[in-house]
Amino acid sequence: MKLERRFVPTPQETRSLEAVFRLNSISSAARELNLSQPTISYHISKLEDKWGVSLFRNKSGRIESTEFLRSIIPEIRSVAHQLEHIGYLVGSQGRKKELCIGMPPALASIVLLRRLGDFQASFPQLNIRIRAANQFQNLEQERIDVTMRLLPRPADARAQVETDFFTPVANERMRLVCAPDYLASISENGSIQEHRELLSRAQLIHEDETQHFARYLSTFWRDQVLEERSVLTLNNADLILQTAIAGRGFALVREVYVMDALRENLLVEPFPHRLDCERVFHFVAPEAVGLVPSARAFVIWFGDELRNMMHEPTTQRAE
């Protein structure tokens, strides 16, 4: 039987239905779609009236999707994603070519910006926009072409490095570093191997709300007590790096942040112990769009840059 036109939802009704189902909240869907709550409610009631079914029910003050809606939601989501893709493509045609990159502020300031000129030289037709933020970013809503997020490290690091460019460095570690002058100031006779107690004398530069030093000490220095050490706490990896370079103490920093400073002899490693990172950087593309050509070019280029960074500098540890 041929269905009448009135049974086909509009694009906005489709997006409203998908958002309410996914968020389990009319108010949250309204905020995400930048619509009013009455508008979202009207879309839902209109669809229920068209289809002659209930899509949601109230349960203990909360909305719950019906069995009918759960049975058709895969098709609803597919249509919603296609609409997002169409909107992205249409929007991109009306402006000069632009590549929007999402990234944690520390990774952008420490690693990306000093190298970005090489990428721009290869793609001079691109306007590049950096959206640096530590909080979660909605890629489709904010028109971000590709972002980098810290996600659990792959189970098979070797396979990921060789086959999956979405994970540029799958075996990243934390390195204990300090300024050369600071190390000399707390060392005796210049012999680090014979004076492991210098770790007790050093000020530790912590990252706020992390347990990196606790893991480091329990893994490599079980006789050391964290509470007995002088501690300086900061909330940003860039600040931690600059504080270590300024000679304020020992910092335990993700190695992608310290490799340039080690090569430039701004930092040294007093000990060889390195702690595996529980999470590593991944490239993430919008689900509805995937990697557009300019984003794919950036992923390949920046992935190569990050992997090249991991090559050991000539002098990497204090002797």
Residues 161 and 300 in one domain: yes
Q: Is residue 159 part of a domain?
A: yes
Whether 189 maps to a domain, the answer reads: yes
Task: Give the 3-state secondary structure of residue 197.
Answer: coil
Average pLDDT, the chain: 83
In the prediction, which pLDDT does 182 show? 93
Domain extent for 143: 98-171+280-309
State the average pLDDT over residues 257-267: 95
- Whether 88 is in a domain gets the answer no
Can you give the C-alpha Rg of the chain in angstroms?
A: 26
Q: Are residues 286 and 147 in the same domain?
A: yes
Least confident of 7-16, 79-88, 107-116, 280-289: 79-88
Rounded to whole angstroms, the Cα distance separating 236 from 242 reads 10
Asked whether residue 80 is domain-assigned, the answer is no
What is the reported pLDDT for 89?
A: 61
Q: Which of 10-14, 61-65, 95-99, 183-187 has the lowest mean pLDDT?
A: 95-99
- Checking if the pLDDT of 288 tops 90, the result is no
Q: What is the pLDDT of residue 60?
A: 78
Rounded to 5 degrees, what are φ and ψ at 17? -60, -45
Residues of the chain with pLDDT > 70: what percent? 83
Judgement on whether residues 234 and 184 belong to the same structural domain of the protein = yes
Output the domain CATH number for residue 216.
Answer: 3.40.190.10
CATH code at position 62: 1.10.10.10
Q: Higher model confidence: residue 80 or residue 19? A: 19
28 and 167 share one domain: no
Q: What's the pLDDT score for residue 161?
A: 41
- Position 53: which residue type? V
Residues 149 and 230 in one domain: no
Is the pLDDT confidence value at 162 over 60? no
Q: What is the pLDDT of residue 230?
A: 65
* Per-residue confidence band for 253, with pLDDT thresholds at 50, 70 and 90: very high
Token pair belonging to 205? 């530069």
Show the tokens assigned to 202. 């050093």
Greater confidence (29 vs 198) lies with 29
Question: Average of pLDDT values for 28-55?
Answer: 89
Buried b (16+ CB within 10 A) or exposed e, 281-295: bbbbbbebbebbebb
Q: Does residue 186 share a domain with residue 199?
A: yes
**Residues 117, 59 share a domain:** no
Task: Please report whether residue 232 resides in a domain.
Answer: yes
Q: Name the token pair of 219.
A: 């893994």
Number of domains the chain contains: 3
Residue type, 8: V
Q: Are residues 199 and 266 in the same domain?
A: yes
- Assess if residue 167 is contained within a domain: yes
**Tell me, what amino acid is at 264?**
E
- Measured CA to CA, the distance from residue 272 to residue 316 in angstroms comes to 9
Residue 125 shares a structural domain with residue 191: no
Do residue 38 and residue 25 come from a single domain?
Answer: yes
Same domain, 207 and 291: no
pLDDT over 70 at 192, yes or no: no
Whether residues 198 and 225 fall in one domain: yes
| Position 125 in a domain | yes
The residue among 271, 213, 204, 269 whose CA lies nearest residue 240 is: 204
Read off the pLDDT of residues 91-147 as tens digits, 9 standing for 90 and up. Answer: 555 454 789 999 999 999 999 999 999 999 999 989 999 999 888 878 888 889 999
Residue 163 inside a domain? The answer is yes
The DSSP call for residue 227 is: G
Does the pLDDT value for residue 13 go beyond 50? yes
According to the per-residue pLDDT averaged within each range, which of 23-32, 53-62, 105-114 is highest?
Answer: 105-114
- Report the pLDDT value the prediction gives residue 317, as an integer from 0 to 100: 41
Question: In 24-165, where does DSSP find H-type helix?
Answer: 26-33, 37-51, 67-93, 105-107, 116-122, 157-163
pLDDT of residue 166: 77
Give dist(CA 136, CA 154) in Å, integer.
21
